[in-house]
């Protein structure tokens, strides 16, 4: 682990950005329209510069709760799935409107685990990603919450978009996964409960000690907390890819990250770290 910052300018052609519920929905349950608009602006800008961008967005259940003026997430599965169907359509409508404002087309992909488990459906979905990207369209991905189940022999659920975003980044052979959340990065203790927590700038190996300082979700509407983000980072590093975890408060941070500014926490496989550090 390193706490000193280092410059990380990369030549990124294909980028996956994952945005969590905590960045899209205020703690009071209202949609964060500013962040959604800024995200559309920044990703449209990157497309205009010739980059290929995939957005993995959470928020369906959070937005669904707000639509029905509910403050607590229901515990039964069918109520959550109904909320996701309400929220997802509102969320994608809003994304469509904001991207359209910046003259950028989007496509929606709602995925379940089995899509990647079966070679034929996996190939079809990868072909769809490729075709959308070749047409300069931004694929917007979420788990298909309304149909995904994780019971008995139905193992169709990803369970969280952190790992889904890593799977998408690996399968589409993206150069970088940018994970945006309500924290500046990964700290040596949960910053919500430890005032003296220190931001870690670079992690080359994830061990039990790393998981030991990863706490649960920060917002009422998120799911995985830091544990699922570490799992995503581990998947990326095992695939010899990099992930950066940074604050989604201002999506312009994506431009700074690509410009090499030392922001957030970088998860870099050992070999790449050794090369970059000379
Ligand atoms: N070691 C840690 N470093 C940073 N954040 C942590 C850590 N442990 C727990 N957290 C919590 O993880 C939260 C982010 O996870 P989550 O609520 O699932 O966000 P998102 O909706 O963006 O996926 C933060 O708000 C923070 O409270
Ligand atoms: N698919 C769910 C999100 C699940 C999830 O991983 O949420 P988060 O921890 O906010 O990224 C939804 O759209 O509500």
Q: Please write the tens of the pLDDT for every residue from 40-51.
A: 999 999 999 999
Query: Around Cβ 126, how many Cβ atoms within 10 Å?
Result: 16
Chain position carrying tokens 């790393």: 210
Mutate to test the pocket of ligand 1, among 25, 226, 246 (most ligand atoms within 8 A of CB): 226
The pLDDT score that the predictor gives to residue 11 is 85
Query: Around Cβ 48, how many Cβ atoms within 10 Å?
Result: 12
Q: How far is the CA of 6 from the centre of ligand 2 (A)?
A: 31
The pLDDT score that the predictor gives to residue 77 is 86
Nearest CA to ligand 1 atom 9: 215
- Answer left, alpha or beta for residue 202, where phi above 0 means left and psi between -120 and 50 means alpha: beta
Q: Of ligand 2's atoms, which has the minimum distance to the CA of residue 24?
A: 10
Q: How far is the CA of 158 from the centre of ligand 1 (A)?
A: 19
Domain boundaries, the chain: 14-272
Tokens for 136?
């300069």
Give the ligand whose atoms come closest to the C-alpha of residue 247. 1
The pLDDT score that the predictor gives to residue 161 is 93
Q: Which residues are annotated binding-site positions?
A: 18, 58, 145, 161, 181-182, 223-229
Nearest CA to ligand 1 atom 25: 218
Nearest one of 243, 223, 110 to 170, comparing CA atoms: 243
Angle at alpha carbon of residue 157, lines to 249 and 224, rounded to 5°: 35
Ligand 2 first shell, C-beta below 6 A: 20-22, 58-62, 84, 142-143, 145, 160-162, 222-224
The pLDDT score that the predictor gives to residue 75 is 87
The pLDDT score that the predictor gives to residue 159 is 76
Mutate to test the pocket of ligand 1, among 195, 215, 233, 267 (most ligand atoms within 8 A of CB): 215
Q: How many residues does the chain have?
A: 278
What is the pTM (predicted TM-score) of this model? 0.93
The pLDDT score that the predictor gives to residue 278 is 32
Tokens for 123?
């190939």
Nearest one of 185, 160, 173, 166 to 248, comparing CA atoms: 185
The pLDDT score that the predictor gives to residue 270 is 86
The ipTM value here is 0.97
Written as one string, the DSSP assignment of 129-150 is HHHHHHTT-EEEEEE-TTT--E
Q: Identify the sign of the CA torsion 61, 180, 228, 212.
A: negative
Written as one string, the DSSP assignment of 17-50 is EEE-HHHHB-TTS-B-HHHHHHHHHHHHHHHHTT
Residue 155 and residue 177: Cα distance in Å, rounded? 25
Task: List the beta strands (DSSP E) in the chain.
Answer: 14-19, 52-57, 106-111, 138-143, 150-151, 154-155, 176-181, 202-203, 242-247, 265-267
Q: Which residues are annotated binding-site positions for ATP?
A: 18, 181-182, 223-229
Q: Which residues are annotated binding-site positions for substrate?
A: 58, 145, 161
Tokens for 234?
């581990």
Extract the residue ranges of the chain whose pLDDT is less than 50.
Answer: 4, 275-278
Q: How far is the CA of 4 from the centre of ligand 2 (A)?
A: 31
Task: Indicate the CATH number for domain 14-272.
Answer: 3.40.1160.10
Nearest CA to ligand 2 atom 11: 20
């Amino acid at each position: 682990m390193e706490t000193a910052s280092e410059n990380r300018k990369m030549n990124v052609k294909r980028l996956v950005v994952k945005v969590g519920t905590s960045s899209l929905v205020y703690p009071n349950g209202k949609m964060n329209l500013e962040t959604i608009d800024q995200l559309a602006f920044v990703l449209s800008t990157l497309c205009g510069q010739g980059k290929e961008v995939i957005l993995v967005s959470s928020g369906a259940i959070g937005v669904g709760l707000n639509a029905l003026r509910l403050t607590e997430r229901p515990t039964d599965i069918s109520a959550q799935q109904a909320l996701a169907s309400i929220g997802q359509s509102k969320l994608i409508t809003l994304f469509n409107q904001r991207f359209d404002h910046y003259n950028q087309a989007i496509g929606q992909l709602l995925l379940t685990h089995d899509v990647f488990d079966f070679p034929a459906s996996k190939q079809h979905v990868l072909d769809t990603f490729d075709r959308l990207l070749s047409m300069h369209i931004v694929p917007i991905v979420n788990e298909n919450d309304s149909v995904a189940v994780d019971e008995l022999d139905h193992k169709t659920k990803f369970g969280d978009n952190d790992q889904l975003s890593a799977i998408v980044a690996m399968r589409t052979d993206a150069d970088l996964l940018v994970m945006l959340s309500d924290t500046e990065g990964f700290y040596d203790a949960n910053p919500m409960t430890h005032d003296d927590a220190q931001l870690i700038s670079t992690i080359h190996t994830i061990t039990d000690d790393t998981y030991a300082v990863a706490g649960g979700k920060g917002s009422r509407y998120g799911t995985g907390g830091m544990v699922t983000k570490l799992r995503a980072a581990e998947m990326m590093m095992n695939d010899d890819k990099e992930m950066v975890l940074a604050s989604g408060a201002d999506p312009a941070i994506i431009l700074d990250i690509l410009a090499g500014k030392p922001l957030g926490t970088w998860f870099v496989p050992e070999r790449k770290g050794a090369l970059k550090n000379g």
